[in-house]
Structures are given as C-alpha cells and as structure tokens.
A and B are shown apart, each in its own frame.
Chain A
C-alpha cells in the first residue's frame, strides 16, 4: 500500500450538507477499493491565488489515505467528473506502508492528527556547501 494525500478545492457556494456529501463520496471511493483514509481535514474557505472556474474562493480539503495506485486513478476520475471540485492535487507521501500502522479515521475528524509522521529526512550534502564559494564572485559582478 502507498500513502497519498490529495488536496482539493470544493466550490465556495456549497453548503454544509454538500461538503458532507463530498466528504462521504470521496472517502467512500477510497474505502470502497480497500483503501484506508488516515485523515480528512477540511481547511476551510480560502481565497485562491487565481480564479478557477470563475471562482475566486474555495474550500480546501486535505485527505490523507493509504491505497493502491488504481485508487488514485479512480479518485481523480471522480473528481474530474464532479462539478463541485474545482481542482485537485495528489502527492505520494510514502511507498510500502503497512496498513496496520496507520489508524483509520472516524466519521467526523477534528483536526489532522499525524501528518508530519512521514517527513522527509533532513541531511545536508557536502558538495552543496563547496559550490557556494564560487558563487560569491558571480554576485559581485552583478552589482
């Protein structure tokens, strides 16, 4: 199983019930295909950096889940067809995750519980620092 997160924008004129329907629908897609939703976080209404489908605002929703690759294809297909979804973005967080290690979400989650768990390792490569020396000259010439 792989761990993915999908961030999507729901149209701003949707009501509470519609948001709930969207939540049920897409969580259903994941769980219906043996996936596991780790968190479902409605981040609220935010203004968009540019207009999408003539809308300047939207509800951002972040869904974190474990699933096979086909589930992502199916989920995105559903999002494309759904008029309430303005845009979506899926990012793979980790390969080969043990489904038992992640707890499935309750019907109505409060806040994202664990998200930083799958964090990128922080390590500085030595070459990067060496090359910085040469750059200094470049900058001088510009000024």
Chain B
C-alpha cells in the first residue's frame, strides 16, 4: 500500500504557462521572464521540470542563449578571475 502510494504520488501536472497565456511573448531582451527558467547556477531548466511544452521550451532555450550572448544573462554564476 505504502509502496503503491509512493509510486502514485504524481505531482500536479504543470501547464505550459505560454500556452495558458498567449499574451506573454518570449523575447531574449526580457531577462526578467527568462530568469524564471534557469537555475541559480544559470543552467536552463529542462522542460520535464519547468512544464513547458516542446514549442515554448525551444523558444525559451533560444531566447536564453541569445540573452547570454549579449550579456543580459549569465553563462554561469561562477566568475573567472
């Protein structure tokens, strides 16, 4: 029983927030929004965790990579000296 309970305890399915609200535009110039999809170390959060759909995860990834290039977002938080 306990075992089954554990297996069955699936977390609530996250809905892709960009599908839910089409007003939100994914833009590389908007680090405030993109910050939500990276870890404290600056890594992109996989969609398994973030709950984005494939299409929007792709857009997010692209936007984050562009933002990194133009120094709006970090590649990593460990700064080289």
> Interface on A for B, CB 8 Å cutoff?
7, 9, 46, 48-52, 58, 62, 86-89, 91, 116, 119-120, 122, 124-125, 127-129, 131-132, 135-140, 143
Contacts and interface: CB of A to CB of B under 8 A. Distances in A.
Contact of B9 (A86, A119, A138, A140): A140
B10 interface: yes
A117 to B, nearest CB: 12
Contacts of A88: 70
Given A9-B71, A48-B71, A140-B7, A119 B25 contact: yes
A116 B25 CA distance: 9
A51 B11 CA distance: 40
Interface in B23-81: 25-26, 28-29, 31, 48, 53-55, 59, 66, 68-75, 79
B53 A132 contact: yes
A139 B25 contact: no
A111 to B, nearest CB: 14
B4 to A, nearest CB: 12
A55 to B, nearest CB: 9
Given A49-B71, A50-B74, A87-B71, A128 B54 contact: yes
Interface in B1-23: 7-11, 13, 16, 19, 22
Given A125-B55, A128-B54, A120 B25 contact: yes
Contacts, number: 69
A16 to B, nearest CB: 23
Contacts of A49: 31, 68, 71-75
A28 to B, nearest CB: 23
B70 A87 contact: yes
B23 to A, nearest CB: 9
Given A128-B53, A132-B53, A50 B71 contact: yes
